[in-house]
Structure 1
Amino acid sequence: MHFLVMLHAGVGLRNQTLDIEAVSRMFKLLPGRRSLLFLIALMVYAGINPCLAQGQDRRIQDVMRCQKVQERFTLGRDLGAQTGLNIGGGRQLPPAVRQRLTVAVMRAMDQVFNWNIVEQDYIKIYAEIYSADQLDFILQLCKDPRYQQLMQLEFEMIKDTLAVGEKYASKVQEATLKAVQEVLQ
């Protein structure tokens, strides 16, 4: 018991991760057999921890599925790229050229910025923001058809909310360019 308290206090655990410098300091403080015991305890903990992390990751993935995070990411990325092309003068291009440009940009973006690439980043954010109890609460909400309907409505609003930004984008771009020019003069 004392050893486990010392392990948790000295190692500096936060969200089931180990502070390597703290482990190193603890290891130097423990002579002989205690060092061996500490190392064994650390190895056992490390062997158990991935299972806990996998369970937490699965819970987070369930929450993200319920909240349509992948769909939101993909739609936001794609609409954002289209908005960027429109703001950048894409509207003046002939439709056939604009279509080829859009397809090429989307293909290039998808190679370096797709859900498979960013999913672990999202899982990490959720793990840092939400406690296990909060994730469980969200999962309970997900069972409620009203919450599912709310998530669907919010997903459908993404396109409209991005359109608001696009509506003002040229004015923002003009004002920003003017402000930058004033600073650089």
Structure 2
Amino acid sequence: MFKVSYLGRPQPAERPRARFSNQGHYYIYNPPKYAEYKQKLIEFFNGFAEDPELVNLFDKKKIPYGLSVKIVFRFSVKNPNDNPFYTLRPDIDNLFKGIIDSLFQSKVNQVLDGIETDKNGNPIHDEFGNDIPHFKQRIDDSRVVHTEMLKLKATEESPEGFTLIVRNLGLEAIS
């Protein structure tokens, strides 16, 4: 089992969208606020790339069935009441997606697999002439077979942010 907490307001995932010009050209627009948040999360999870508990969870030979992921989100509220749950936007599935995308795109799950090539096998270079590294994933996010998510109001003891718990689901978990 791996458990970690992150401080800071959770952000929902925003999908990149195509933008079109009058000349028929298009580009992919990735909302900068979400891209920045996702990069912060990737760097946060990169800090656990050597954690033995987390490394074992991303070893496909040690995961017979899949992963269980529990995320508890905490949000600050202006007018607290007795309800412990945070019932306002953003949607919980988009919050979950942002964290899982970041975890699976971090060094915890990415393995260097050579350099990027075009369809003819020629290396692709960045604007400075450097080779662009190619990564592959140890496992993909389809290995997440169980989820549990809560949106709670932040408290003094539990400030705004999220807690992530990842477990290996073995046979005993489904019996």
Query: Is TM > 0.5 for Structure 1 vs Structure 2?
Result: no
User: Greater relative contact order (Cα 8 A, min sep 6): structure 1 or 2?
Assistant: 2
Flag the structure with higher strand content.
2
Report the TM-score range of the alignment, normalised by the length of the smaller protein.
under 0.3
Flag the structure with higher helix content.
1
